[in-house]
Amino acid sequence: MRTNIHPAINRNNERGAALATALIIMSLLAAVSMTVLAVVTHESRIAGSDLQRTQTFYAGAAAIEKMTSDFSALFATTSRPSTSQLNAIAAAYPTELTGEGFSFTKTDGTPNQSIAVDPNAPSGTVTIPTGPFSGLVASVTPYVLDTTVVQTATGAQVRLQRKINNYLVPIFQFGMFSNEDMEVHPGPAFAFNGRVHANGNLYVSGTTTFLSKVTTANELVVDLLRNGNTHDEAMNVKVGAITVPLTIGSVTNGPNLSGSTAGNRGYFPGSPNGTVNSSWDSTSVSAASGAANKFGGQVLTRSTGGVPLLLPMQLEGNMVREIIKRTLPSDTTILSEARYHYKSQIRILIDDEGQSANDAAGIPTAQGVNLSTFNPSPLPNLATSTTVAANGGGRALWRINDNNTGFANSYNEQTSPVNSWNMQQQNGTAVQADTVRGIKAPPPVIVISGVSKASSGSLITITTATNHGFSTGDKVFIANLVGAPQALGGWTITKVSNTSFTLNGTNTSTYNLSPSYGSGGTVYSFTAIPKSPNGAAIPPGSGTTGHILIQVVDSNGVARDVTSQILSMGMTEGEPNAIVYLQRPLWAAFVQGSRDASGVALNTGVNGDPNYSNCLTDILTKTHIGTDGEIKVTAGVPVQDATHGYLTQIVDDAGGGTQPQRSAGSLRSAHGLGYSQLVNQQRLECRSSD
């Protein structure tokens, strides 16, 4: 029997190994736990940070949406917002968010947000790239809306930026444009090559082809006329080279939809009733292929993207007619800026004289002139020379040679064949014109009833049929006497009574009446004619009254009152430098004669009077410049030239200085106050933004 005996094992060397192993395992577990904890903590922090950024982002989004809304609303009051208005919007961030610990700053850290014109984006005149008005030329102003939001507690920061283009679209780019309903109902076949837009409904019928884009802010109606009647339909729309038949509209029958209320689609009481065409929205915007009613966006209605195109002033509820009225103190900014009066660079306003200071539509009393009291200022009147530059620039009346190439041959300073400057009568003496013709009425022409002289040493006594109104020392002019030729012409008088006066210096035999007075005769006061500061008579005008204001708007937008300066350059037809004519417009070219007294008879065959020239015919036949007065005919009435349209059979005012007699006649006194308004070419601009 075999017995195996195993020696005893010494385990003293293994003492403590289990502890070390346990510690290692626990250390590993702790490391793993620490790692997991760190990861979880980090993820928690990331999640928390992301939440803070998300909250901050939405706060910024809310702020920029509010800026956008306020920015759009601003254009309901002005089409050209000021910097202060933009800054006010930028400072109006949502106050609820500030209570939740958010602050809003500019990029430089200063308070509030910012709205400014984008200096890096295209500006000026551009072509609108997208939308219902794509392809139209517009004035674009690009804006940048910028906000930086900080969550105060955590320091989370988000910056958001939005770019907006504000378009002002000149409506004259449309071939047809209507603020109300538009009806296209031609008789024969009609093809229209131009953009068409209606802010109301668009009714189309007949054989009509549109060659350009058609838009309406409401409905397109093709199966009824606006009065509810039907008509033949053969409509087409050109989309590029493709002709697309137009057989349906956005509604069937009329645009007034049952159950619609004010402000919603289809509320057109009084228009034909109808229903929504359910296939229009999808069919009309489909790509053009030649199939009926697939226009690829060439025809847009309210339901497919058509929008109103309004003048900024309409956004406030103003009628379009307000655009032609003058600016009033009660105008809002946008209404004032929309008026032609505001846009014009030269403004001419006319009002009655003596209006109340409370008349808001009137011209302020301190501005402009009253025509009843206005006298034109003298124009340069220096010594003659060979060049216009050397004599100060001109006189009241100038003739300019047709073949002028420079100063040397533009103005004829010689006396033969005719002076460059016209002469005018001054109580029988022709002198150089000092002022242009005024607007004041000539003095009344008094009828003479008797001319007598008691003896050679007596003065000639003139008796009038009515109160003459003269005073001792007045200068008068006598004409049209039958007999008593010694009394003709200009005289200084002495008043005897209200109906008689004597002629100073006639108490010699030279003035004995031979032949004696027979009948007739007229007299007017030369003293009563307005005089310039130089003492020269200012030729009378039509006697029109009124309050007139002429303003020139400078580059800074400041209106300057230039009424006196402009009117002193001429107020009536024929004044060579006149800008404004005050007269009855229809008669402007046909009742103008002359105040030329240069002593040269330019039309002796017709005129026969060496003291005057027939300036109306001269100016129309381009012989010489014309000046103004009244007309007289050889017989009957003036005859219009069949080829050139000017009047013939015209002679000038009578010689001998009697021109004022006809100046007081019915034609002159019948002149009314015409008016003109010169405006800078402006575009009616409607707002669209993207």
> What Å distances lie between residue 25 and 15, 18, 292, CA to CA?
18, 10, 82
Please say whether the beta carbons of 689 and 141 come within 8 A. no
Asked if residue 611 has pLDDT above 50, the reply is no
Residue 396: per-residue pLDDT: 60
CA-CA distance, 561 to 580, in Å (whole number)?
15
Task: Give the highest mean pLDDT range of 75-79, 223-227, 420-424.
Answer: 223-227
- Hey, is 158 helix, strand or coil? strand
Percent of the chain with pLDDT over 70: 71
Task: Give the highest mean pLDDT range of 4-18, 44-58, 444-458.
Answer: 444-458
The interaxial angle of helices 83-90 and 17-74, nearest 10 deg, is: 140
Distance of CA 571 to the CA centre of its chain: 23
Of 149, 147, 52, 60, nearest to 103 (Cα)?
Answer: 149
Residue 415: per-residue pLDDT: 47
- Hey, is 319 helix, strand or coil? coil
For every residue of 570-608, which 3-state class applies, written as one string?
A: CCCCCCCCCCCCCCCHHHCCCCCCCCCCCCCCCCCCCCC
Give me 344's structure tokens. 């014009």
Query: Does residue 248 lie in a domain region?
Result: yes
CA-CA distance, 166 to 75, in Å (whole number)?
10
| Residue, of 525 and 590, whose pLDDT is higher | 525
Per-residue confidence at 309, pLDDT binned at 50, 70, 90? confident
Give me 51's structure tokens. 């939440």
Parallel/antiparallel/unpaired status of strands 519-525 and 446-452: antiparallel
Query: Does residue 385 lie in a domain region?
Result: no
Asked if residue 92 has pLDDT above 70, the reply is yes
Per-residue confidence at 629, pLDDT binned at 50, 70, 90? very low
Residue 574: per-residue pLDDT: 59
Residue 399: per-residue pLDDT: 52
Residues 658-670 as b or e (16 or more Cβ within 10 Å = b):
bbbbbbbeeebee
Residue 201: per-residue pLDDT: 96
How many CB atoms are located within 10 Å of the residue 448 CB? Answer: 23
Which residue shows structure tokens 């400072």? 91
Residue 348: per-residue pLDDT: 87
| Amino acid, res. 159 | R
Per-residue confidence at 347, pLDDT binned at 50, 70, 90? confident
Distance between first and last Cα of the chain? 112
Asked if residue 183 has pLDDT above 50, the reply is yes
Give the single-character DSSP code of 188.
S
- Pair (456, 483) in one structural domain: yes
Asked if residue 678 has pLDDT above 80, the reply is no
Residue 472: per-residue pLDDT: 96
CA-CA distance, 236 to 246, in Å (whole number)?
5
Asked if residue 672 has pLDDT above 80, the reply is no
CA-CA distance, 632 to 662, in Å (whole number)?
9
Task: Give the highest mean pLDDT range of 124-138, 391-405, 444-458.
Answer: 444-458
> What Å distances lie between residue 177 and 295, 314, 315, 416, CA to CA?
20, 15, 17, 60
- Pair (158, 185) in one structural domain: no
Question: What are the backbone angles phi and psi of residue 52, rounded to the nearest 5°?
Answer: -65, -45
Per-residue confidence at 332, pLDDT binned at 50, 70, 90? confident
Instruction: Quote the Cα angle for 511-512-516, to 5°.
Output: 120
| Residue, of 127 and 267, whose pLDDT is higher | 267
Average pLDDT over residues 272-279: 94
Residue 618: per-residue pLDDT: 46
Of 288, 222, 272, nearest to 250 (Cα)?
Answer: 222
- Pair (144, 229) in one structural domain: no
Q: What confidence tens digit (pLDDT) does each residue in 16-65 have?
A: 677 777 778 888 887 777 777 776 666 666 655 677 788 889 888 998 99
CA-CA distance, 398 to 423, in Å (whole number)?
10
Which one of 275, 304, 333 terminates a domain?
A: 304
Residue 380: per-residue pLDDT: 63
Residue 431: per-residue pLDDT: 60
Task: Give the highest mean pLDDT range of 122-126, 385-389, 445-449, 624-628.
Answer: 445-449
Asked if residue 647 has pLDDT above 80, the reply is no
Q: What confidence tens digit (pLDDT) does each residue in 355-387 have?
A: 666 666 678 778 899 998 999 988 765 544 444
Residue 335: per-residue pLDDT: 84
Query: Does residue 372 lie in a domain region?
Result: no
Q: What confidence tens digit (pLDDT) does each residue in 124-140 have?
A: 888 888 888 888 888 88
Residue 505: per-residue pLDDT: 94
- Pair (110, 42) in one structural domain: yes
| Amino acid, res. 576 | P
CA-CA distance, 169 to 685, in Å (whole number)?
5
CA-CA distance, 327 to 341, in Å (whole number)?
6
CA-CA distance, 309 to 197, in Å (whole number)?
8
Give me 191's structure tokens. 């093809």
Of 234, 227, 219, nearest to 187 (Cα)?
Answer: 234
- Pair (294, 206) in one structural domain: yes
Q: What confidence tens digit (pLDDT) does each residue in 463-480 have?
A: 999 999 999 999 888 888
Please say whether the beta carbons of 243 and 296 come within 8 A. no
CA-CA distance, 313 to 171, in Å (whole number)?
14
Which one of 473, 499, 525 terminates a domain?
A: 525
CA-CA distance, 69 to 96, in Å (whole number)?
17
Q: What is the torsional sign of CA 199, 202, 207, 209?
A: positive
List beta partners, residue 519: 482
Per-residue confidence at 211, pLDDT binned at 50, 70, 90? very high
Parallel/antiparallel/unpaired status of strands 235-239 and 242-246: antiparallel
Query: Does residue 610 lie in a domain region?
Result: no
Sheet with strand 256-257: strands edge to edge: 251-253, 273-276, 256-257
Which residue shows structure tokens 């089409």? 79
Average pLDDT over residues 617-623: 44
- Hey, is 564 helix, strand or coil? helix
Query: Does residue 215 lie in a domain region?
Result: yes
Per-residue confidence at 123, pLDDT binned at 50, 70, 90? confident
Asked if residue 114 has pLDDT above 60, the reply is yes
- Mean pLDDT rounded to a whole number for the chain: 76
Query: Does residue 322 lie in a domain region?
Result: no
Residue 26 burial class via C-beta count within 10 angstroms: exposed 0-12, middle 13-18, buried 19 and up: exposed
Please say whether the beta carbons of 598 and 418 come within 8 A. yes
Residue 521's CATH number: 2.40.30.180
Of 523, 527, 525, nearest to 464 (Cα)?
Answer: 523
- Pair (45, 136) in one structural domain: yes
CA-CA distance, 151 to 18, in Å (whole number)?
55
The structural domain count of the chain equals 3
CA-CA distance, 448 to 658, in Å (whole number)?
14
Q: Of 385-399, 490-504, 598-612, which gets the smallest average pLDDT?
A: 598-612
Average pLDDT over residues 639-660: 51
CA-CA distance, 81 to 87, in Å (whole number)?
10
Please say whether the beta carbons of 596 and 422 come within 8 A. yes
Residue 406: per-residue pLDDT: 56
CA-CA distance, 39 to 29, in Å (whole number)?
15
Average pLDDT over residues 536-547: 79
Residues 335-363 as b or e (16 or more Cβ within 10 Å = b):
bbbbbbbbbbebbbbbbeeeeeeeeeebb
Residue 479 lies in domain: 446-525
Q: Of 310-324, 445-459, 483-497, which gets the smallest average pLDDT?
A: 310-324
Asked if residue 324 has pLDDT above 90, the reply is no
Q: Of 232-241, 325-334, 467-476, 617-626, which gets the smallest average pLDDT?
A: 617-626
- Pair (145, 208) in one structural domain: no
Query: Does residue 16 lie in a domain region?
Result: no
> What Å distances lie between residue 617 and 401, 607, 642, 649, 682, CA to CA?
17, 11, 14, 10, 37
Which one of 271, 304, 337 terminates a domain?
A: 304
Please say whether the beta carbons of 324 and 660 come within 8 A. no
- Pair (158, 58) in one structural domain: yes
Q: For the whole prediction, is pTM greater than 0.85? A: no
| Residue, of 683 and 494, whose pLDDT is higher | 494
Number of residues that this document lists for the chain: 690
CA-CA distance, 95 to 59, in Å (whole number)?
11
| Residue, of 280 and 392, whose pLDDT is higher | 280
- Pair (184, 142) in one structural domain: no
Do you find a cis peptide bond into 540, omega within 30 degrees of 0?
no
- Pair (468, 502) in one structural domain: yes
Asked if residue 586 has pLDDT above 80, the reply is no
- Pair (142, 210) in one structural domain: no
Asked if residue 388 has pLDDT above 80, the reply is no
Query: Does residue 596 lie in a domain region?
Result: no
- Pair (44, 143) in one structural domain: yes
